[in-house]
Copies of this chain bind each other. A is one copy, B any other.
Amino acid sequence: MGTDETLLLIFIAFLAAKVGGEIVERLRLPAVTGELMAGVVLGPSILGLITSEHSFLDILATLGATFLLFSVGMETKLSELKRVGMIAASVAVLGVAAPFVVGYYVSILLNFSSVEAMFIAAALVATSVGITARVLQDMGMIASEEAKIILGAAVIDDILAMIVLTLVSGTAAGEGLNSIDIVIVIAEIACFIAIVTILGTRMVRYAFGKREIRHDRTVDGSWSIHYKTRAFKRDSWLEKLVQKEAPFVVILIVVFGLSAMASYVGLAAIIGAFFAGLIFSDTKNTYELEHKFEPLNVLLVPFFFVVMGAKVDLTNFASVVPLAIVLTVVAILTKLAGCAAGAITRGEKTALIVGAGMVPRGEVGIVIGMIGFNMGTIGSETYSIIILVSIATTLYAPFLIRTIINAETKKERRSTNWRFNLRSRT
């Protein structure tokens, strides 16, 4: 019976992901790496339990990616973007530009095709700061200026990564770097973002209307009183729905709808999910929403990482691993240099800590790898390299951050001592 083998594999994949996650979390590393490595173990390289035949797992992985990107979007609060300021913006922009440009040219030098080089470069772009946040928390630095810059930059980073992904997959689909194509792609994503954010924000405000009013009233008295009256006159259409969990259902429909719409206009489907998250990220009941989506993420996201891990093919170990090492070094150095350059006005110590904190790649890079692989634009080896680089940067980042913080603190103490000595001598 087909169903039975299906459920057995679902059980194995889920169990392996959670055991892998548990093990690496005990080592104070992010669960993602454990889930990916569980996938590598289950995949054709080692146990061969999950192979490309088991396409039913792909649909779970797709759903996992959808809800993952939705939560990434939810964490990207547009209202916070105004607060993070110029430093975070320059850290994000330089931290995206450096790995992309250098990653692209290094990949070309390593004999990748220009389309593959583009995907590799794009996968090196997005930062996953979960691990950084934890390391800084451990070191009692989560409220520091560095942490604020890193978290702010990561938000902008995600949006930039989506734009880079759109450009890359758009030009890859057109199989060339035609400048008209690029303009069309940019116009497309601009229209999509404009329509989604303007219409979406309005619809959300209309649906969750009453909640937003109190928030607005403190800002602009006269306008919001008008708005308040309107909202009180007509009830939110959401409240007229009789079914269970109606707001949650409506959001699920929006997530699937925007994903389908994004792919219809030629963007990656997950960009739709990301923007769905963005739309709902600024509503007042975000906390309640995240609470509802949490079980979906706990169930589905592990399938994404296990399946992504299982697609890693290490049969060409000798050709894959050296390239992965070179690109990991490129990924680390470019991010470190780019982000440090963006924050250099805040002093060397801050710049270096911010640079190190932005090193870990994660979810978004893996999603980019998946899209290239599913499009058939990048081969199995290139895909495997992207996953390995993602794992390696994430595993290395905590050591790098701790080393830099300790070294800089020591240096600072030495210079303080030196100054202290000078002063005491005079």
Contacts from A to B (Cβ < 8 Å)? 1-4, 6-8, 10-11, 14-15, 18, 21-22, 25-26, 31, 55-56, 58-60, 62-63, 66, 241-245, 248-249, 252-253, 256-257, 259-260, 263-264, 269, 292-296, 298-299, 374-375
Contacts and interface: CB of A to CB of B under 8 A. Distances in A.
Contacts of A245: 294-295, 298
A188 to B, nearest CB: 15
A296 B294 contact: no
A16 to B, nearest CB: 10
Closest 5 CB pairs of A and B: A4-B263, A11-B256, A56-B59, A8-B260, A11-B260
A55 B57 CA distance: 12
Contact of A1 (B3, B296, B375): B375
Nearest to A22: B243
A261 to B, nearest CB: 9
A14 B296 contact: no
A300 to B, nearest CB: 9
A260 B59 contact: no
- Secondary structure class of chain A's binding surface, majority of residues: helix
Nearest to A249: B18
Number of copies: 2
Contacts of A25: 242-243
B8 A263 contact: yes
Given A22-B242, A245-B298, A295-B295, 10 more contacts: A1-B374, A3-B263, A7-B66, A14-B256, A31-B244, A55-B56, A60-B63, A245-B295, A249-B298, A296-B299
B256 A6 contact: no
A3 B374 contact: yes
Nearest to A55: B56
Given A248-B298, A263-B1, A295-B295, A7 B62 contact: yes
A252 B375 contact: no
Contacts of A3: 62, 263, 269, 374
A11 B243 contact: no
Contacts of A4: 260, 263-264, 269
Contact of A7 (B260, B296, B375): B260
A295 B255 CA distance: 14
Given A4-B269, A7-B66, A243 B21 contact: yes
Contacts of A260: 4, 7-8, 10-11
Contacts of A15: 253, 256-257
Contact of A62 (B6, B63, B298): B6
Contacts of A18: 243, 249, 253
Contact of A59 (B6, B11, B26): B6
Nearest to A296: B295
A198 to B, nearest CB: 21
Contacts of A375: 1
